[in-house]
Structure 1
């Protein structure tokens, strides 16, 4: 392991155009599942100035006004009308309604082992799950801080502490590591869009963000910015135009901030806009669940779980464990324990996380909240794949 290095991770707020597309795509998934938990749906979104493009393929008994779902999601984000107007933007759609004949409509919780074997994946992917001891969330420190800064930017805007902020902001955190452990904050970069304050100066913006964003995030952190830490606020100047008025967006472009901030491998497949039958989404959750329980059990300080799925198969064709030299037992032992205590078949993942009914059990939906609150770690609620309920069995 490299003794010392610098690593940066970035995140974005809910109004970044890429993140808006993720939210819209998952809002559509929620709406379908709320009416029909056995829906098969794949939704992708792109947007630019006053234009939203939505493509969806679905097999469902639900009746969903997809453009209206998109408008509601945009309105909830809270753009100023000059940035993006939910009520009069153009929504262009391309929908394909597919046959219901091939849908499985039996609750996975009631299926026998043989019946679960008949629920096979329909797309191929190699997914990765990762966990480490750098943070209480068992996630890499740089992405945890980058995400917290993004969340605090949103909170400062919504709570009117820094009311002139745009919903579209970006964060980046540079962290110095020594012997694989984070030791100091090298740099923090905040790119903040503003609205309605043409005379706002750089010094005032920096002061407000230091007080209402950076200070709250690091209030209880052991690693604090020091006198040598560089803090950049809009280093290329003020951004009085932001959001879709300034740049475009697309579903699935923020997979690094959705997962591990680039610190660990991820497949590159978009997580948002996919129903629970899509293994390229739920496989990422299953792999994270396994890796987190391995680390929580004390079997390793770092763990990567690799799951490879092939079309027409119910279970992964490959399970690979890497502990990067930090394991207290061998990787072969960890693999054997995972195979004993975890079921990585698609039907079992849906069953164990109750993925079909999360949209109705969470007020305001479930999947639409993941892009802005976090697919991993601390989120708006306890995520089923973030539990460490199998750590004792692995131990």
Structure 2
């Protein structure tokens, strides 16, 4: 039986968190290659630490379109500059840069590429999940929704110079009480944010509390001051890659549903859309979101599985968590949804228009619950399948 009253927590990290710096650099490389060749292959891992940026992985691109080492370095440094790192321990201009990208394995290419009557295969085996719920306007878990937005607001205030005492590295955590299955108030709030040297902690706490109050619905702030934690260690002057090394792919729960849904384990950033870790997870979110947007369930989880080199998915699973509405059921949706969108790697990319340089923007504040862009960014957040799903049932 589904619990109706409970507390649940999700966390987020800012664009300046070291792991997110790595994710954004990796996706900047993906965007650079796709801007030159829409069918480029990229698997780029990034490591950042004190004044050092290191890339490694595999790529494939048309010879006459392949970005130069200087262009790859320029893209990486531009990302760090946009985030705002001009610190003694990590500076966009002065950090040491190394690139160890090399050609894609011929054996992987053989399994993935189309040839003759063979359709394009999945780039690896694996399981992918998508989720949607009606807790927020973006059909995302409320705990993660507000965790992201607190940090986005702090970043906007920093970039606009309204809060110049804020530095790029930050983390948030939101715990909400649920009654009758609906979020009703915050019980605990946590923000740790890097700040200028010597900045008064009392003023910082008051400022961050004001941001929290602006983001949360009216009346949701905890009444107990001891339930709000701002920089609980006391100081946070040394941060970012200078304070802790960052790696691509270490924030997969922040990237997805904040723990409210299962996760297949594969990271997204640094991967071109032939990698089903990324594209199939986007497809699962797209389908789950359209099911909830169609009023057919309050919650929906979808799972797909693949084998390397095989085009068609091995399995397709739907769970409505006992919240099905208007005659919808798991078995009906399992039969209908794959007829509305071909779930091969190529079918997903074609349906969602994924062979575009649209990925760096997704690498901070979540890949889901975002607004679709006119150029095709966040296409998996569209709800343009609602009518087709209703008619299919």
Is 1:80 the counterpart of 2:86? The answer is yes
Are positions 1:368 and 2:360 aligned together? Answer: yes
CA contact (8 A) 1:303 1:322 kept: yes
1:344 aligns with 2:339: no
Q: How far has the Cα of 1:181 moved from its partner?
A: 1.7
Q: How does 1:1-395 map to 2 (within 5 A)?
A: 1-61=2-62, 62-65=66-69, 66-98=72-104, 118-195=119-196, 197-198=197-198, 200-211=199-210, 213-218=211-216, 221=217, 224-228=220-224, 230-328=227-325, 329-357=328-356, 359=357, 366-379=358-371, 381=373, 383-395=378-390
Deviation, structure 1 residue 26 = 0.2
| TM-score (normalised: structure 2) | 0.90
Going from structure 1 to structure 2, the CA distance change for 1:204 and 1:394 (only over 3 Å counts) comes to same
- What stretches of structure 1 of length at least 5 have no aligned partner? 109-113, 360-365
Tell me the CA shift for residue 342 of structure 1. 2.2
**Which whole-Å CA distance do the structure 2 matches of 1:43 and 1:289 have between them?**
25
Contact preservation (8 Å) 1:130, 1:304: yes
Distance 1:158 1:120 in 2: 43
Following the alignment from structure 2 to structure 1, what is the Cα–Cα distance between the partners of residues 273 and 237? 40
CA distance in 1, matches of 2:261, 2:67: 40
The number of aligned residues is: 377
Q: 2: distance between equivalents of 1:251 and 1:63? A: 21
SS at match of 2:369: coil
Cα deviation, 1:42-76, whole Å, max 9, x if unaligned, reads 00011111122210211112223322321221122
- 2:18 and 2:251 mapped to 1: Cα distance? 10
CA distance in 2 between partners of 1:105 and 1:177 (Å): 45
| Bigger Cα displacement from structure 2, 36-45 vs 176-185 | 176-185
Contact 1:176 1:183 in 2 (8 A): yes
Runs of 4+ in structure 1 deviating by more than 6 angstroms, as ranges, are 103-106
* Cα shift at 1:379: 4.5
SS, match of residue 374 in structure 1: coil
> RMSD value over aligned CA atoms?
2.3
- Give the whole-Å Cα distance in 2 for the aligned partners of 1:207 and 1:161: 15
User: What SS does the corresponding residue of 1:284 show, helix, strand or coil?
Assistant: helix
